[in-house]
Amino acid sequence: MKQSLSLVTSAFLLMGASNLFAASSIDLSVVGVLTPSACTPALSGGGMVDHGKISMSDLSYDAYLPLATLALSVNCEASTLMAVKSTDNRSGSAWYEYDTESAFGLGFHGENWRLGGYRLLVKNVQVDGAPAPSIESVDGKLWFPATEDQAWQPRWMRSVGAVGEADAIPVPVQNLAMDLTIQTRVRKPRGAITEEVPLDGSATLDIVYL
C-alpha cells in the first residue's frame, strides 16, 4: 500500500512539473490560403433602392413600401468555392415587428426610435446560366437549404449547392447570378414632425472564400 501511494505521488509530481514547463511558452500560428482566382461582385442600379418621398399622413403606424429588385452577380476568374456574406451597416436600428432579427436597419429618428427595416429575399439563383439551389450558413461550416421566401439575415452567408443533392454543401462556381428582392417596412416617427426624416439603410455584401 505504501509503495503504491509513493508511485501515485511521484506521478502527480511529474505531471505537475510537465504542466509547469508547458505553461512557460506558447505558440503563435499565422495561417491562410492564397487563392489563385478572385471573384468580383456587382449590383444593378449601383446598389441603390430609392423609395422616394413617403407622406407621413399615409402612415397610421407602419407600412410596407413597394417591393424593389436588384440583380446581384459574382464573376470569378475560375471556378471558386466562395460565399457572399451580408453585413448590416445600421446594426441595431432594425424594426420589423415579429421578424426584426432577419431585417436590416433603416436608422433612427431622434435618439432611439427605429424607423423600420428591410428584408432581403434571394430568388432565381443561377450558376453559369443554370438554376442552382441556394444554401446559407452563419459560420461557413454548417450549411442549410435556403428557400426563396426565407430572408437572408444579417451576418449570414449565402452560397449554392449541387443540383439534386439533399445535403447542403457549397460547390465551386465561376459565374453566379441572383435577384435580390427588397421588402421595406417603415413605421411612423413619434411626436410632431416638422421636417423630412430620411431612411438611411446601408448593407455590405462581401465575398468570403471557403
Render pLDDT for 38-59 as a digit per residue (tens, 0 to 9).
899 999 999 999 999 888 887 8
Q: Does domain 33-209 have CATH number 3.30.2000?
A: no
Residue of 12 and 136 predicted with greater confidence: 136
Smallest CA-to-CA distance from 201 within 70, 72, 88 is with: 88
DSSP 109-150: ETTTEE-EEEEEEEEEEEETTEE--EEEESSSSS-EE--TTS
What ranges do the domains of the chain cover?
33-209
> pLDDT-based confidence at 37, cuts 50/70/90?
confident
Render pLDDT for 50-83 as a digit per residue (tens, 0 to 9).
999 888 887 878 889 999 999 999 999 999 999 9
How far apart are the C-alpha atoms of 55 and 157, rounded to whole Å? 35
Q: What is the mean pLDDT of residues 24-40?
A: 71
pLDDT at residue 135 above 70? Answer: yes
* pTM as predicted: 0.81
